[in-house]
Structure 1
Amino acid sequence: MFSKSLGQIESVFAKASTVYSPVTCLVADFFIGYALPLAEELGVPAALLWTSGTGSLICFDQFDNLIEKGLMPLKDPSDLVNGYLDIVIDFILSIPRIPLNYIPTYVRMLYPDDEYMVEFSKKAIEREKKATTIIFNTFDELEYDILETISLKYTNCLGIGPLHMLENNNVDKSLESIKTKLWKEEPKCLEWLDSKEPLSVIYVNFGSITVMNPQQLAEFCWGLAKSNQSFLWVIRPDLVGGDSVALPPEFLAETSNKGMLVSWCAQEKVLSHPSVGGFLTHCGWNSTLESISYGVPMICWPFFSDQLTNCWLSCNKWKVALEIDNNVKRDEVSKLVIELLNGEKGKEMRKNATDLKNKAEAASTFPSGSSVINLEKLICYKALQNKS
């Protein structure tokens, strides 16, 4: 579809409308450039979905400012390790005093692909400022101040998340069969969790695209083993870049009664399980929001892009997470896992996460939740646009 012309795409919609009901609204990813002109051609309103956290959108919007101030791009690759990225910036509204290291990585422009992504992002953001509605997978009580800042540049900004909770609370369960999965889930892990004590398991999952090198894999392995805590670890076949995943036999033997390894799982069911006390995550927005909405504190190991911003907000603004150094070491992994599950900081973060969980549940509950109300605003606004 991405390679089709606007006329071809319009034809697809026209044919679909003769078989089913006519197209009355277009909901598209924020970065799909043809969404707005297509909606205009069809004569229907459009809503654009920003799939990351709202904080990352504010940071993307500051790319020009960072470049004009000479803070980016990096002058030399050594700036990645010489402390330059520790510089704190204080001109981003609602995200005060964020270090450069937590700005989405593309603006560093060390490689040709990064420069392309900067220009692509800047053009998309300027283009989409003309949109009549931007929707976000978040809820007002979590990011109210950031949403207010975004509303200064975009019109009709609506938080309608967490989307998975909104779905669970309000959507017909018979539609469950149409869901798609990136990987085949292994349900046996839920039975394994049933055998564990409450809040005793650290869940480890670095998402669907993050990769690591063999040394990092080994450090995570031995860090988990040294913590002596129970763990459920999702290890994709392609988790190690350019190589197959080979876990040390000694690690497998040492942790056979403490850990469980699976290739994929039903993350919502895992995070909502009473035995799960923490989440070691790459900090993608879906994982971050799901962890918050189930009251599970995190250990963050961000990889690139918005994951860095999500990590900073989780650790410093919402105070529901600890960060692990990118140059991961087993002693640090062990220390943070123990602290998260059993330490005083872990207890405080769990309290904060539980408070946000309650707010997420309230936001997605019919009829008075903030996200439910925002979704109705979206529907009513689009209906009025259609009538006009």
Structure 2
Amino acid sequence: MKKIHALILPFPAQGHVIPLMKLSNQLSEHGFKITFVNTEYNHDKVVASLPKESNSKENNIHLVSIPDGREPGANRRDFAKVFDSILSSMPSYLEVLIREINESSDDRITCVIADEHMGWAVRVAKKMKIPVAGFWTAAAGLRTVHLHLEQMIETGILNSDGLPTKQQMIHLSPEMPAMNTDHFAWNCTGDSIVQQSMFRYISSNARDIKDADWYLINSVYELEKSTYPLNPNLLPVGPLLATEQTRLRGNFLAEDSTCLSWLDQQPARSVIYLAFGSTTIFDKNQFHELALGLELTGQPFLWVVRPSLIDEQNDAYPDGFQARVANRSRIVSWAPQQKVLAHPSIACFVTHCGWNSTMEGVAMGVPFLCWAYFCDQFLNQSYICDVWKVGLQLNKNDGGIISKEEFITKVKTLLVDKMIRARALEFKEISTKSVSEGGSSKINLSNFIESVKSK
């Protein structure tokens, strides 16, 4: 049987790199050789965050990079320029990389697995006559939106620039959660230039991805049944989880694993775990309000406060806060989240509702307290609170702040809600079954691997 050498390309954001790295680890365990392609900017962050005993070539996974078309010191949060430079520069860089690999060894690239947010890579692979899979890193519900942009323009929900003709809640299928048109990804930016650039980018990818040979998603069929009729040939292979053998995790920040020994010292189901992903930013008022809310709950807590979480770094915490909570808290810059969520001391997960966090929380059976920040996170929040009923939503007051009173009330309600905990454990069982022998995701991944090998 021929050796499979897969080139894997994530969109250059933390929430996209991590699930594709998890997929890479699973494929490597099935004998795949992996070339994992980050942008140069992100490659440097991933390599810098690796544990000391690791290197950039582990488990038959080789980390490489290509330019993103931006200058080294350019602002990667200038999204309009990022989207435009990706489309204009990266296809040619990817083609050059594949040619160099194929000409320098007998180990030619035999398939490409491209993040669907890098749909242009399908064109590159097809040009080079390489089979290609699209991989969706978010909920199937969000993918449904992207696949139906033309129909939404034709029916007058959106204008030709992707702007809602009016703010409304829409159902793309009767069973799917209602979606607010103002929460579509490109409408969350508040900047018309970024909005137009992002909409062009999403539309272009949605067209390009239609030519892929396979479609994979980090989801569970049983969690989103109603979306699959609107997503032909989409194979859910989630939840994608790290294993004990996983050395490369794709983190942009080094994990602080010392928090696990701190968790060992806490009572069962007592700790509030808070993590808001890689892009959420709080202003000082909201950060203070959350800190005071945490203090007043009286519960032990583990809080991930990455360096860019607060827009003002000086005197970030309320006066005396850290000293007052020192005996029942741990604050880290990045955590081994899957291990944290699996720990018996965790009582609930306060989250921005990114899809990776959603999948990990569901897989570990942890009740959620939802603090959606932007874009697809509102859809994920709807799944958690309204469809699966495994969590509660935090609501802003008239001033746009989630108050300490709201936080305390919802934490106390969640911790005593036996129905939510029972539902969370039920969904954990569904997720575990899906990736076990005979489960839907396990079968889908096996079928994909066999199909790749037969190409």
TM-score (norm 2): 0.73
Alpha-carbon shift at residue 16 of structure 1 (Å): 2.1
Corresponding residue number in structure 1 for 2:428? 357
Alpha-carbon shift at residue 337 of structure 1 (Å): 1.1
Q: Is this contact kept in 2: 1:320–1:350, CA < 8 A?
A: yes
Alpha-carbon shift at residue 179 of structure 1 (Å): 3.2
The residue type equivalent to 1:134 in the other structure is Y
The residue type equivalent to 1:44 in the other structure is I
Match of 2:414 among 323, 340, 353: 340
- Residue 251 (str. 1) matches residue 332 (str. 2): no
Per-residue CA distance 1:361-387 (angstroms, 9 max, x = gap): 11112x322111101211222233x2x
Corresponding residue number in structure 1 for 2:141? 55
Identity %: 31
Q: Is this contact kept in 2: 1:46–1:131, CA < 8 A?
A: yes
Alpha-carbon distance in structure 1 between the residues aligned to 2:365 and 2:215: 27
Alpha-carbon shift at residue 110 of structure 1 (Å): 5.2
The residue type equivalent to 1:139 in the other structure is V
Corresponding residue number in structure 2 for 1:32? 118
Corresponding residue number in structure 2 for 1:23? 109
Residue 119 of structure 1 aligns to a residue in which SS?
helix
Corresponding residue number in structure 2 for 1:12? 97
Q: Relative to 1, partners in 2 of residues 1:244 and 1:33: Cα closer, same or farther, differing over 3 Å?
A: farther
Residue 383 of structure 1 aligns to a residue in which SS?
helix
Q: Relative to 1, partners in 2 of residues 1:72 and 1:37: Cα closer, same or farther, differing over 3 Å?
A: closer
197-206 or 117-126, larger mean C-alpha shift? 117-126
Residue 451 of structure 2 aligns to a residue in which SS?
helix
Q: Runs of 5+ in structure 2 lacking a partner?
A: 1-65, 70-88
- 1:135-146 alignment to 2 at 5 Å? 135-146=216-227
Q: Is this contact kept in 2: 1:93–1:149, CA < 8 A?
A: no
119-128 or 300-309, larger mean C-alpha shift? 119-128
- Residue 163 (str. 1) matches residue 240 (str. 2): yes
Alpha-carbon distance in structure 1 between the residues aligned to 2:186 and 2:98: 36
- 1:80-229 alignment to 2 at 5 Å? 87-100=168-181, 102-104=183-185, 106=187, 111-151=192-232, 156-164=233-241, 167-168=242-243, 174=245, 176-229=246-299
- 1:276-295 alignment to 2 at 5 Å? 276-295=346-365
Q: Runs of 5+ in structure 1 lacking a partner?
A: 74-78
Q: Is this contact kept in 1: 2:91–2:121, CA < 8 A?
A: no
Q: Relative to 1, partners in 2 of residues 1:179 and 1:244: Cα closer, same or farther, differing over 3 Å?
A: same
Per-residue CA distance 1:167-201 (angstroms, 9 max, x = gap): 53xxxx55x33333221222221111111111111
Alpha-carbon distance in structure 1 between the residues aligned to 2:199 and 2:226: 25
Q: Relative to 1, partners in 2 of residues 1:337 and 1:28: Cα closer, same or farther, differing over 3 Å?
A: same
315-324 or 140-149, larger mean C-alpha shift? 140-149
55-64 or 37-46, larger mean C-alpha shift? 55-64
Q: Relative to 1, partners in 2 of residues 1:137 and 1:215: Cα closer, same or farther, differing over 3 Å?
A: same
Per-residue CA distance 1:304-325 (angstroms, 9 max, x = gap): 1111111111111111121112
TM-score (norm 1): 0.85
Alpha-carbon distance in structure 1 between the residues aligned to 2:137 and 2:253: 20
